[in-house]
């Protein structure tokens, strides 16, 4: 797989840091981005459209292919930070993921 960028991610559970005083989530604090790995980034302008199994149409700009050895948890709703080979940084939230292929994990958003 040819790679042309890297990614970082924040899981759904990482959207707010836990306050040491109260134990409650404090959404004014932000947790750090977790390191992902190298990936292949495919950007679509205009956005691609996909009809889900529920019949709802989803539009997305990024299709990202991640090596299968990546062991993090990438679920729908996870925040992604992409860094392209030219240094450009962009963000999206995962709208769909396919982990059933043998060679790579595919996410889009």
Give, for all 109 residues of the chain, the pLDDT tens digit: 788 999 999 976 544 566 677 766 655 555 789 999 999 999 988 888 878 778 888 888 899 999 999 998 898 889 999 999 999 999 999 988 888 878 899 999 8
Domain ranges of the chain: 5-108
Question: What pLDDT does 25 receive?
Answer: 61
Q: What is the CA radius of gyration of the chain?
A: 15
Question: What pLDDT does 30 receive?
Answer: 54
Using CA atoms, how far residue 10 sits from 27, 56, 86, 91, in Å, is: 14, 26, 23, 11
Which pTM was predicted? 0.77
Question: What pLDDT does 99 receive?
Answer: 82
């Amino acid at each position: 797989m040819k790679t042309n960028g890297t990614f970082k991610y924040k899981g759904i559970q990482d959207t707010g840091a836990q306050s040491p005083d109260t134990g409650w989530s404090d959404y004014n604090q932000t947790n750090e981005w977790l390191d992902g790995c190298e990936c292949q980034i495919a950007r679509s302008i205009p956005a691609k459209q996909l009809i889900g199994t529920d019949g709802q149409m989803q539009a997305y700009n990024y299709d990202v292919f991640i090596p299968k050895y990546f062991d993090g948890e990438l679920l729908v709703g996870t925040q992604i930070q992409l860094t392209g080979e030219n240094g450009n940084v962009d963000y999206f939230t995962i709208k769909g993921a396919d982990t059933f292929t043998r060679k790579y994990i595919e996410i889009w958003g």
